[in-house]
Amino acid sequence: MVARMGAAGVNFLNDGFERVCADPAAASLRPRPLCLWHTLRGMLWVKTFHIVFIASWFAGLFYLPRIFVNLALVPADSPAERERLLLMARKLLRFMTLLAVPALALGLWLWLGYGIGLGPGHGWMHAKLAIVVLLIGYHHACARLLRRFETGTNHRSHRWYRWFNEVPVLLMLAAVALVVVKPF
């Protein structure tokens, strides 16, 4: 890695991150924890777990509607198949909810604790937060649809569920594009 010193003691390394010490001349005299390098390393671990939990939550958001497609196709004379799919859907929804909580908590930690996306010039973060709210709504809609299957009040076709299954794909694409490209 090649390092260069910028203004106000900001040490830019070619890995795209900056490590900040209050006084670059005294930085070598201070214990390392006073430099934000350790804060950066902690932030990277929080971001790593955030990505893992988000990917896991999305796996459930992609798969649960596929179970709904199969439930909508189950013939009335097949209660064992229906019960098996309902059991799978219940367990998946419970697991998805357990994954969503740390995913959202770690995202809040990155946003409010580390300041990612705070301040002027971060309109992309507002758009991403709107997508997160839509994803939480989608998760809630999945829970409501599962209750309809459980009570036998579902009136939607398997085709509707196939289209419903595409919503998290589009939301994920938009969220990833906003985070990577940061268009505004």
Residue-wise pLDDT tens digits, 10-27: 443 334 444 444 445 544
Is residue 22 located within the same domain as residue 80?
A: no
pLDDT of residue 40: 86
pTM: 0.78
Look-up: residue for tokens 């994920």?
A: 172
Our CA angle for 47, 36, 11, nearest 5°, is 105
Is residue 10 located within the same domain as residue 47?
A: no
Structure tokens at 154: 């579902």
Is residue 28 located within the same domain as residue 119?
A: no
The residue with greater pLDDT, 133 or 25, is: 133
Structure tokens at 12: 């830019």
Is residue 112 located within the same domain as residue 26?
A: no
Is residue 153 located within the same domain as residue 142?
A: yes
Look up the domain containing 73 and give its range: 37-181
Q: Which amino acid is at 95?
A: F
Total number of domains constituting the chain: 2
Is residue 16 located within the same domain as residue 93?
A: no
Is residue 94 located within the same domain as residue 105?
A: yes
> What per-residue string of b and e applies to 37-70 under the rule 16 or more CB within 10 Å gives b?
beeeeebeebbeebeebbebbbebbebbbebbbb
Length of the chain: 184
Is residue 41 located within the same domain as residue 8?
A: no
Is residue 66 located within the same domain as residue 142?
A: yes
Q: Which region holds residue 109: left if phi is over 0, alpha if psi is between -120 and 50, else beta?
A: alpha
Structure tokens at 40: 């950066």
Is residue 101 located within the same domain as residue 23?
A: no
Per-residue pLDDT tens digits for 117-132: 888 889 999 999 999 9
Is residue 43 located within the same domain as residue 101?
A: yes
Identify any residues that bridge with 19 across adjacent strands, giving them in sequence order.
11
Is residue 16 located within the same domain as residue 97?
A: no
pLDDT of residue 18: 44
Per-residue pLDDT tens digits for 72-81: 999 989 999 9
CA 164, CA 63: separation in Å to the nearest integer?
11
